[in-house]
Amino acid sequence: MYEVAIIGGGPAGLQAALTLGRMHRRAVLLDSGRYRNAPVRHMQNLVGFDGRDPAELREAARRDLAAYDSVETLAGEVVRVDGALGAFTLTLADGGRIDTARVILATGVADTLPEIPGLAALFGTAAAHCPFCHGHEFAGTRVGLIGMGAHATRMAAMLRPIAAELVVLAHGEPVDPEVGDQLSRLGATIRAERIASVAPAGDGALVTFEDGSTLDVGGILTATAWRQAAPFAEQLGVAIGPAGAIEVDALGRTSVPGVAAAGDAAVGPGLPGPMHAVGLSIAAGLTAAAATVQDLVSEELGA
């Protein structure tokens, strides 16, 4: 019987495990090996690791964890979580079971890209979804924006100091006239045609439209739709907000006693929406684990 089971071995889960290990709490971390940033070789915007391979961070974290005897790490897929505070059971894909008093969900989210041939293959190199993560890498080039809808103006305004030129690739979707006016005030142009395909071209990409015309870009910022990567919040009846993120309080606690959540999967109070970044996931993992330790202590003290 573990005190805490952490599901997820990305930045949020690894940090939660480190915090629990440092407090000598008996914990297990389960990792199915599907990381959201797996397509990228360069992770940005994390102080001390800017530009490094995300796999390096995970390897360094696992080396750190090896120093703490109370934490076990297991490779494996969890398929089901049942139970309640003090008595949760995790069922693994190989039929194994893990009993734990508490659970931290650090299972992340999974992306779905607009259905444009070639876009998925470029995602993580010449195409990205986050200007904080990949905007600087497209500096001084023509940048194409896909699938932003009304958010195109905000994206264009964020990229204006970075990109040499901004082109909204509307892909046949109508552009609201007000959005069009704002975009032109920002110096962005609009290509209305549907995109036939995107393909790598040098360090950037070649966009081919259905009418046969083409456009070279240094990079593409694309919207993605995301969903929970794992079904455990639903299985446990944890409250999920309108954007699809697990709702947590400022300490990472969900609506279900004994279940905390951290990282991309969760959203805390007071935020305009989920904020997805490695640094924020690390902070959330630490917070959820520290709060879990406090909850264990309160139980022990009968407080």
Ligand X SMILES: Cc1cc2nc3c(=O)[nH]c(=O)nc-3n(C[C@H](O)[C@H](O)[C@H](O)COP(=O)(O)OP(=O)(O)OC[C@H]3O[C@@H](n4cnc5c(N)ncnc54)[C@H](O)[C@@H]3O)c2cc1C
Residues that bind ligand X (CB under 6 A): 7-13, 30-37, 39-40, 43-46, 77-78, 106-108, 111, 123-124, 128, 133, 229-230, 263-265, 276-279, 281
Q: Least Å distance between CB 40 and ligand X? A: 4
Beta bridge partners of 100: 2, 88
Question: Beta-carbon neighbour count of residue 87 at 10 Å?
Answer: 12
Q: Least Å distance between CB 58 and ligand X? A: 8
Q: Least Å distance between CB 254 and ligand X? A: 15
Tell me the C-alpha distance between 43 and 268, whole Å.
24
Alpha-carbon Rg for the chain, nearest whole angstrom, is: 21
Nearest residue (CB) to ligand X, 64 versus 176: 64
Nearest residue (CB) to ligand X, 19 versus 281: 281
Q: Least Å distance between CB 88 and ligand X? A: 14
Nearest residue (CB) to ligand X, 35 versus 88: 35
Any idea what DSSP says for residue 264? G
Nearest residue (CB) to ligand X, 62 versus 191: 62
Q: Least Å distance between CB 147 and ligand X? A: 14
Tell me the C-alpha distance between 270 and 260, whole Å.
18
Structure-token pair, residue 52: 């490094």
Tell me the C-alpha distance between 104 and 259, whole Å.
6
* C-alpha torsion sign, points 160, 165, 171, 174: positive
Nearest residue (CB) to ligand X, 9 versus 188: 9
Cα separation values, 243 from 113, 181, 246, Å: 17, 28, 9
